[in-house]
Each structure stands twice: as C-alpha cells, then as structure tokens.
Amino acid sequence: MKLILLLYLVCHLTLIKASPHPRPINFGSVGNVFSSSRDIGVGIVSNAGNFLPTPKGLFESGKNVIAGYPFEFVSSSINAICSAAVSTNAVIPKITPDINKMQFQLRTPCKKYSFPLMHANEMWKSPEFDKTKKTVILATGWTTTVNETDTISQMAQAYHCRGDVNFIAVDVASYVDTLYTWSALNTEEIGENIGKGLVQLSEIIPLENIHLIGHSLGAHIVGAAGRTFNYLTGKQIPRITGLDPAKPCFNEGENLSGLLRGDADFIDVIHSNPGVLGKRDPMGDVDFYPGGLDPLPSGCLSVVCAHERAWLYYTESVYPGNENNFMAVRCSSLTRLKNNKCPGRSYPMGYASPKYLKGNYFLDVNGAAPFGMDGNKARDERKQDCGLCRNNGGS
C-alpha cells in the first residue's frame, strides 16, 4: 500500500509542478483507493465458496488483487486529473518539440545511420536503405532513448533475422524523456513531423510496404503520424501496431485522443497492462488481450513489467518460425475461452496478424520466454545470434 500512495503522490506532484495554479493533494482520494482495495478483498472472501482455484490460479488472482487492481484505481484517478488539466491548458510542455533536432535512425545488423526528420529523403535514397524491402518504423515510449533501449535493439534483431525489412527507429531527442505530462503533450506534434517524413518515403517505395509500430506513448505518436499522412496525401498508411498504448492523459474525444481507428487501413493493438499504464478499451480494428483483462500477466509482479510485455510478445512473434506462437480466439473474456465457450477459429497475434481481423481476441501466455503458448524454447535458443552483426568491426 505504501507503493500505491507513493505513485499517487508522485503523479499528483508532477501535475502540481506543471500547473501554474497548483491545488493541494486530496488525501480523501487516496483513502478512496484504500477503501476500494478493501472492498475488493471483502468481495473475494465473501464469494470464496463459489470457486476452488488451483494453487497457481490462487496466486495469479491474489497477485492482481494485491499488486494490479489498486494501481488501476490510482491510474484512473490520475488519468481524469491529467485530462482535466490538459483540457484547461493548465499544463504546458516544458520543451517544445524542435523538428530540426529529430531524426530517423536506420539500423542495419552492424551500424546505425541517423538522418534528420525533415530531410528524410536523404535516408530513403542512401545506399544503406534497400528500396526493395518492406520498411518498419518504431516509436518507443516515455523516458526512452534511441541508443539505449532494449525495445529497439531486440526488435531490430528480430527483424534483421528475417532479413526482408529496413528497420528504422524514431529519435525524438528529449521530447518524451521529460515528466510524463509534458511528454504526453508532445506526442501529437512529434507524430505530425513523422507524418511529413512518411510523405517523402511514399514517393520512394510502395505504400503497402510501410508498417508503423509504437509502444506506450509511441503508439499515440504513430497514430498522429498516420493521421497527418492521410491529411497531406489523402492516402492511408497500411498498418499501425500499437503495443500497450499509454493510458494516462489519453481519452477519445478529448484534447489528447491518441491512437484511433482510422489512423491506418489496419490497426492491431496488444494490451499487456490494461487499465493501468496501458489502455483497457479497444482501440484498433483488432485488439488482443494476452492474459486477459488482468493488469498483471503471468510472470509479472509489477505494472512496469506488464507494460513491457507487449513489445516482448510482438518481438517474439517476429522471428522466423514464431509467427504462430500466440494464437488468439475472438471472445469476451479469457475465462470463457478457457471454458471452451468461444468456439471460433484461432488467429496469430503479432507479426502475422491477418489484416482482415475485427474485434477483441483473447489468449493465454506463459510467464517466461517463450511467452507464446505455442513457442519452442529450443528453436529460440538456436536463433540467439540470428540478426546480429557478423562483422566484429561493426558497431
């Protein structure tokens, strides 16, 4: 409970520091969090006779009551506060994005090549960029840097293992490395700048070869990029993949709407920390819920771990042979799926998701890699060096 209080205080102080008219902390709201947590516990005890879980099931359920759901209450409160502050212009970005400092970083197995966002044509026409290949552009989330992020390095390796993709990371300098509220406010403008670069890219390669991926705040950035591209060209980006799109401050119909259906021809979303750091509500043409709607999937004891799982799941699915590691079924809950009440056909989540899928899909996952229930540990071990630089002189 101390951790819950700490999270509430930190986030509230973030808003206070950003607001020109700070208000005192409402400790009654904190009390409501504890009260709600107590009510959940009472409800579980009073209905204990209605189910007899396995020891593992009891641990997983208890874990979410103790560690997951209290954070969900706090997160919802923070989201409401942040949205209200943004709508009244009480929060302004500490740093206004400067497009001249943003870059696309083209990654090969051995080297990284950076090109200014506004001169993207220099990258598209460079010898390191293969116009015959598909192009994947990844935007990451809060407090990440382009050169020191596991998300980028591991996903780049997976795509390089396939060998048929130009893998590009978006270097947004320090504009999503500030306090969260400032970072959130910068997502729209950053996305607009990326959208302008995509216009140049579409003149070099077939539009159907472009795929945008975003994790956390990055999901909202690529959503804005897709909208901007559509506005400037009248055409749609073929696919956007949102990996646990960030929840706080982003609500459809408000100042910060974030990723929305229609930002691309096909939008697939993986929710790994629904209701806390990530959005719970469906946002794409197809929304996947690995581990169901619980805030913490199997193997995670923190919301940060859960939030990261989305990109880990996706990256696992990219490796050749892993396309069907995560098979999901259209359903209303993981419980119904496990009780065989969702008889529909299963489809892959991640890299190989069919672009005609619609609706909400559920699946179970493992608590450790390989996370996909149809994964193969021996196969993954054989691919540990796949996609890495073979030249010792590379960097």
**Nearest-angstrom CA–CA distance, 46 and 42:** 6
**Nearest-angstrom CA–CA distance, 76 and 119:** 40
φ/ψ of residue 192, rounded to 5:
-60, -40
Q: Which of 171, 244, 268, 287 is catalytic?
A: 244
Helix (H) or strand (E) holding 219: helix 217-233
- As beta bridge partners, residue 266 has 239
Q: Which distant-in-sequence residues (6+ apart) come within 8 Å of 373 by Cβ?
A: 325, 326, 327, 363, 364, 365, 366
3 state DSSP class of 61: helix
Q: Which distant-in-sequence residues (6+ apart) come within 8 Å of 196 by Cβ?
A: 117, 118, 228, 232
Catalytic residue status for 21: no
Which amino acid, residue 187? Answer: T
Catalytic residue status for 244: yes
Q: Which of 12, 160, 215, 307 is catalytic?
A: 307
Rounded CA Rg of the chain: 21
Q: Count of CB atoms within 10 A of residue 164's CB? A: 12
Q: Which of 75, 183, 202, 216 is catalytic?
A: 216
Contact criterion met (CB below 8 Å) for 297 and 369: no
Catalytic residues: 216, 244, 307
